[in-house]
Amino acid sequence: MLVRGVAIFAPAQIAKLFVSMGMQILVARLLLPEGRGLYGVCLAIAAVLLISTYFGNEFGVRHLLFEKRITPPQALRYLVITAALSWVAALTVVFLIVRSGVWLPEGITWPLLLLACTLAFSQLVTTQINVIMTLSGKFAAAASLAVGEELLKLALVSTLLLRHPSVETALLALLLGTSLTAVASASLAGWLKSDPERLQLEHFREIYGYGVRSVWLNLSSMSTVHIGTLVLSGLMANAQIGIYNLASALVSRLQVIPDALNRVLVPASMASDRPDDRFRMMRLSVTGLAVFSLGVAPFVATFSRPAIQIMFGHEYVPAAPLVIVLFVGFACKIIGKPLEAHFIEISGEPTVLGFIHVFSMITMCLLTHLGAIEYGLLGATVGSALSLILSAILLLTAYLRMTGTSFGSLFDFGPLLSRLLELRR
């Protein structure tokens, strides 16, 4: 099931990667580094508000679904209701911040934060609908809709941003794309029809309880993409932030492969109650991602500079060395992605992973800040990469101690080669 699911989902994720790359090119070229920096800061602030108001409730919904205590239509309703409540709370916080006159990064306004926050919650719902589909075994539908979402957003960005090049237009185009995809996905899955299963207060309690315990898990995405941008927003101009943010966004796109693997790993683990089978799937996943990272590394080192100059323009060439440095840290994070799935959904023990992400966030803030002060943009990037490496080492250590396995047992290239040969036949 694992290999079959990856065979379906991975090509779609790669297609999604290329389509989203086209969208990144449009946004970067039309907004230029200064606008790209403001765009990144808006998304970073929205991510902080999303996490601080929604916690990790999506993991609570998925955990109930994993245990088969709720149906997919119920999961959708729990997701939408909790997200809507948190969206209102986030906008209230934004309104109070703007009215109070506290310091905000350069160029940040109420309309920008309104659009960015609404986009963040819309993207949350859209992504989780896709996750629920994969947990339900609808691999092909989920993969097709994920690519369709990126195509729709690319079309909207191309149409609107070319006519009105501004950060507001870029955020609005993405918001329309994610919202339409969410409605279409839920409708095609048949989850918008009436469901005889009622929502239960006890489930809401469990979702919020699990969400509070899992809040630090969302720091993973924030610390790898947004924390560095937020730290630099108080130290550098938007143009420099745009360079850093583009490099971070490009490297983070490589996570589509481990994310696709995790989408399949969890339901595959659900199908087996044997610890040995689950460990074999984990070993296959970790080894495959190690091979993927080693295979991509030479291309990143060789083609970063010419690729950035061709696609994004000479204004973004300084991002090339940052991409190479950040890739080292992201490669470690990529290899550890299946271990995160083990703590979040398979073992149902998110607290351990939460502490690791708190550590990641703190080290990201400190090392990025210190690097920026001492050595500028490159120093900030080295600090960010180093924090990712340290967090990956801590994650691996925690997994090995919890499962009682050795480091060497996680990497076995023989079974991976055998599975690939079977798939080819």
Nearest by Cα to 380 from 321, 311, 422, 314: 321
Rounded distance between C-alpha atoms, residue 399 and residue 184, angstroms: 38
pLDDT of residue 220: 62
Rounded distance between C-alpha atoms, residue 145 and residue 365, angstroms: 35
Secondary element (H or E) of residue 68: none
Tokens representing 82 are 């909790």
Residues near 357 by beta carbon (within 8 Å), at least 6 away in sequence: 216, 217, 218, 219, 220, 223, 391
Residue 89 pLDDT grade (very low, low, confident, very high; cuts 50, 70, 90): very high
Which residue's structure tokens are 């929502």? Answer: 199
Q: What is the mean pLDDT of residues 299-321?
A: 95
Whether the Cβ atoms of residue 324 and residue 251 lie closer than 8 Å to each other: no
349 pLDDT more than 80? no
Number of CB atoms found within 10 A of residue 20's CB? 19
Q: What is the mean pLDDT of residues 229-234?
A: 91
230 pLDDT more than 70? yes
1 pLDDT more than 60? no
Q: What is the mean pLDDT of the chain?
A: 87
pLDDT of residue 270: 52
Weakest-pLDDT range from 106-110, 318-322, 352-356, 399-403: 352-356
pLDDT of residue 88: 96
Weakest-pLDDT range from 22-36, 56-70, 247-261: 247-261
Residue 335 pLDDT grade (very low, low, confident, very high; cuts 50, 70, 90): confident
13 pLDDT more than 80? no
pLDDT of residue 363: 93
SS3 70: coil
Q: What is the mean pLDDT of residues 106-114?
A: 93
pLDDT of residue 422: 60
315 pLDDT more than 60? yes
235 pLDDT more than 80? yes
Whether the Cβ atoms of residue 209 and residue 1 lie closer than 8 Å to each other: no
Whether the Cβ atoms of residue 168 and residue 22 lie closer than 8 Å to each other: no
Q: What is the mean pLDDT of residues 20-48?
A: 94
Query: What does the H/E/C string look like for 250-293?
Result: HHHHHHHHHHHHHHHHHHHHHCCCCHHHHHHHHHHHHHHHHHHH
Q: What is the mean pLDDT of residues 226-250?
A: 92
pLDDT of residue 106: 87
pLDDT of residue 223: 59
Tokens representing 179 are 């919202």
Whether the Cβ atoms of residue 19 and residue 150 lie closer than 8 Å to each other: yes
Q: What is the mean pLDDT of residues 118-134?
A: 94
Q: What is the mean pLDDT of residues 259-287?
A: 69
State pLDDT tens for residues 387-417: 999 999 999 999 888 888 888 778 776 655 5
Rounded distance between C-alpha atoms, residue 219 and residue 226, angstroms: 9
Higher pLDDT among residues 196 and 208, named by residue? 208
- Which one-letter amino acid corresponds to residue 51? I
- Which one-letter amino acid corresponds to residue 73? P
Higher pLDDT among residues 165 and 224, named by residue? 165
Residue 424 pLDDT grade (very low, low, confident, very high; cuts 50, 70, 90): low
Tokens representing 217 are 């898990």
Rounded distance between C-alpha atoms, residue 155 and residue 173, angstroms: 9
148 pLDDT more than 80? yes
SS3 404: coil
Rounded distance between C-alpha atoms, residue 425 and residue 420, angstroms: 9
Angle made by CA atoms 249, 169, 43, in degrees to the nearest 5: 35
248 pLDDT more than 60? yes
**363: exposed, middle or buried (Cβ count in 10 Å: 0-12, 13-18, 19+):** buried
Rounded distance between C-alpha atoms, residue 152 and residue 89, angstroms: 29
pLDDT of residue 78: 96
Most confidently predicted of 116-120, 262-266, 361-365, 403-407? 116-120
Rounded distance between C-alpha atoms, residue 178 and residue 129, angstroms: 11
Q: What is the mean pLDDT of residues 296-317?
A: 95
Weakest-pLDDT range from 60-69, 144-153, 159-168, 317-326: 60-69
State pLDDT tens for residues 152-178: 999 999 999 999 999 999 999 999 999
Weakest-pLDDT range from 133-142, 280-289, 386-395, 407-416: 407-416
Whether the Cβ atoms of residue 124 and residue 136 lie closer than 8 Å to each other: no
pLDDT of residue 277: 73
Residue 29 pLDDT grade (very low, low, confident, very high; cuts 50, 70, 90): very high
Whether the Cβ atoms of residue 345 and residue 62 lie closer than 8 Å to each other: yes
